[in-house]
Amino acid sequence: MLISEVARLSGVSTKALRYYEEIGLVDAPERSPSGYRDYGEDVVNRLGFIRSAQALGLSLGEIRGVIALRDAGETPCTHVVDLLRRRSAEIDRTIRELRSLKGDLNRLVERADGLDPTDCDPGRVCHLIGAT
In this structure, the strands spanning 30-31 and 37-38 are antiparallel
| Same-domain pairing of 38 and 87 | no
| Same-domain pairing of 105 and 59 | no
| Same-domain pairing of 62 and 80 | no
| Same-domain pairing of 62 and 17 | yes
Contact, 37 vs 22, CB < 8 A?
A: no
pTM: 0.78
Rounded to an integer, the average pLDDT of 28-50 is: 92
Whole-angstrom distance, CA of residue 59 vs CA of residue 123 = 45
Which of the listed residues 57, 72, 87 is the one where a domain comes to its end? Answer: 72
Domain count, the chain: 2
| Same-domain pairing of 1 and 61 | yes
Cα angle, residue 90 at apex, residues 89 and 95 outer, rounded to 5°: 95
Res 131 pLDDT > 80: no
| Same-domain pairing of 91 and 48 | no
Question: Given this model, what pLDDT does residue 119 score?
Answer: 82
Lowest mean pLDDT among 19-23, 49-53, 69-73, 108-112: 108-112
Amino acid code (one letter) for 114: G
